[in-house]
Amino acid sequence: EDQVTQSPEALRLQEGESSSLNCSYTVSGLRGLFWYRQDPGKGPEFLFTLYSAGEEKEKERLKATLTKKESFLHITAPKPEDSATYLCAVPDRAGNMLTFGGGTRLMVKP
Amino acid sequence: GAGVSQSPSNKVTEKGKDVELRCDPISGHTALYWYRQSLGQGLEFLIYFQGNSAPDKSGLPSDRFSAERTGGSVSTLTIQRTQQEDSAVYLCASSLGRSTYEQYFGPGTRLTVT
């Protein structure tokens, strides 16, 4: 059974204080790893897909990286508007669903 | 273009009543998913539709839950004889194909069973 674990559960940062969020996974053959951002009262918003170890993708202050066992979401010089819950997920073997981690709630204070 | 839409945005119902939740996927997306998000449980898969294939219902928590997708587009999730533990946000997503493609989520329907 696929498992996805995110840490920390919550992270408080000062504006400009860079940090990383972790997503560890156990799957029977990685078929991609997805990062989403979710704001309160809204559905998850797609950020990145990573398919192979060593792959990196960037979007504004966010950079996602992938190894054989985990993925990191690096946030450089965050702003208050980056505050949200960040979710990672992996597809199952059949390609019928995503298994999500519990999320990291990020709070960036000005 | 338009994203995934869901209705209603909020639904309050009494225990034992039936409810129907609607999802309009992105035009051209053949795959449609329903997930449930509740406090302390995270996002849980419920059901998956792909084109004209038989749906994957493996995530439905009980036989009170059912879903259909008409004409390969709009989907309805029905919960019969609602229970308080059914209270959650029900999210719909669509994608171009199987779950190896990125899924785009709607805003969700918040269901409260009193």
Domain edges within chain A: 3-109
- Domain formed by A3-109, architecture: Sandwich (2.60)
Residue A37's pLDDT band (boundaries 50, 70, 90)?
Answer: very high
* pLDDT at residue A31 in the model: 87
Residue A95's pLDDT band (boundaries 50, 70, 90)?
Answer: confident
Dist CA A52 CA A56 (whole Å): 9
* pLDDT at residue B45 in the model: 96
Which of helix, strand or coil describes residue B40?
coil
Asked whether the beta carbons of residue A96 and residue B102 sit closer than 8 angstroms, the reply is: no
Interface test with B, best of A85, A96, A99 (most B CBs within 10 A): A96
Among chain A residues, CA nearest to B6: A43
- Yes or no: say if B68 and B23 are a contact pair by the CB < 8 Å rule: no
* pLDDT at residue A29 in the model: 83
Does residue B19 surpass a pLDDT of 70? yes
Give residue for tokens 């202050």: A61
Across chain A, mean pLDDT equals 95
Nearest C-alpha neighbor of B92 from the set B64, B69, B58, B61: B69
Q: Taking residues B56-85, what's their average pLDDT?
A: 95
Residue B51's pLDDT band (boundaries 50, 70, 90)?
Answer: confident
The shortest C-alpha distance from B32 to chain A (Å) reads: 10
- Show Cβ contacts of residue A28 under 8 Å, excluding neighbours closer than 6 positions: A2, A93
* pLDDT at residue B1 in the model: 58
Dist CA A102 CA A80 (whole Å): 22
Higher-confidence residue: A97 or A22?
A22
Sign for the CA dihedral angle at B6, B22, A49, B2 comes to negative
Q: Taking residues A73-99, what's their average pLDDT?
A: 94
Q: Taking residues B13-24, what's their average pLDDT?
A: 98
* pLDDT at residue A62 in the model: 98
Give residue for tokens 């989520």: B105
* pLDDT at residue B65 in the model: 98
Of B4, B99, B104, Cβ closest to residue A97: B99
* pLDDT at residue A7 in the model: 97
The shortest C-alpha distance from A43 to chain B (Å) reads: 4
Across chain B, mean pLDDT equals 94
Q: Taking residues A9-14, what's their average pLDDT?
A: 98
CB burial string B54-81: b at 16+ within 10 A, e below: ebbeebbeeeebebebeeeeebebebee
- Domains of chain B in start order, with CATH, are 5-98 (2.60.40.10)
Among chain A residues, CA nearest to B38: A102
